[in-house]
Amino acid sequence: MTRLLDALRSATTVVADTGDLEAIALHRPTDATTNPSLILKAVQQPAYRPLLDRVARDHAGAPTAELLDHLLVAFGTEILKLVPGRVSTEVDARLSFDTRASVERARRLIALYAEAGIARERVLIKIASTWEGIQAARVLQAEGIRCNMTLLFSLPQAVACADAGVQLISPFVGRIYDWHKKSAGAQWDEAAQSGAQDPGVRSVTAIYEYYKKFGIATEIMGASFRNVGQIQALAGCDLLTISPDLLARLSETDGELAPALTVEKAKASGAERVPADEISFRTRLNDDAMATEKLAEGIRLFSADAVKLDALIEQAARG
């Protein structure tokens, strides 16, 4: 009998969403993604504390922001020893509304990877899908620095990212599901809102249909899953980035898995062109309460974890 994880690999590129090197080695994903929250979680484990101490020691006297970048690249470099593909490393979320600073930070991360002997083709720079972040990605992509746009909750964000020529987008599934479940309160019907009807799944499906119908080359990587059903409902998506606990569940469960998303079905969909200019982007995003709230909340949460990570770095730097 086929394991669900192996069945998924035949339809979709499997990516690990973690900074836990042991989990990556165990589940053998093609790529891996990180973010400030995942690195914060990893660096607090005894197994990975030496990475933090080494960065503080090797770059003693450097500003905290530079130490943070060195730490992110240290984790990314170790991850790339375990995966055949790419690692996603995130620009500080506190720069989400600063195009120039985001570009400069991304260039520095790529330069640090280059110093470590890592080709830029193996690195995706993660940037929040604000208008400013998308414009930063436009500049970076033109320079050959590939970007992964995160905190993406809506089709207008996806369309603007495609217009900027980004390499990959990470539309969130679980956080959309969370918002709708909370909004519905006692009226929420879990059975009726599962599988293909899950609001997060529907959002990613709409983006997939749009991209494939109009021949957009940007890769789509579903992210932020709450259960195996959401993953199964998006089998066939270009990539799916999955937490270690759900990867474990997939690897322990027997079952077959037919692609739920296909290019053929997407091309036959009713997707219609959406404008990608700034006013349309801001207006449509503002009209979507869920996307507006989750984008703002995501930036706040990642920024808060970046502050905590700064504190740990400064503590390590003091010895």
Radius of gyration of the chain (CA): 19
Residue 102 to residue 113: CA distance in whole angstroms: 17
Residue 266 to residue 216: CA distance in whole angstroms: 12
Write the CB contacts of 78 (distance below 8 Å, at least 6 apart in sequence). Answer: 21, 51
Catalytic one among 81, 126, 267, 308? 126
| Phi-psi label, residue 34: left if phi above 0, alpha if psi -120 to 50, beta otherwise | beta
- 134 by Cβ neighbours in 10 Å (0-12 / 13-18 / 19+) ranks as buried
Nearest to 301 by CA among 202, 224, 230: 224
Known active-site residue 182: no
Residue 48 to residue 278: CA distance in whole angstroms: 42
User: Which positions are annotated as active-site residues?
Assistant: 126
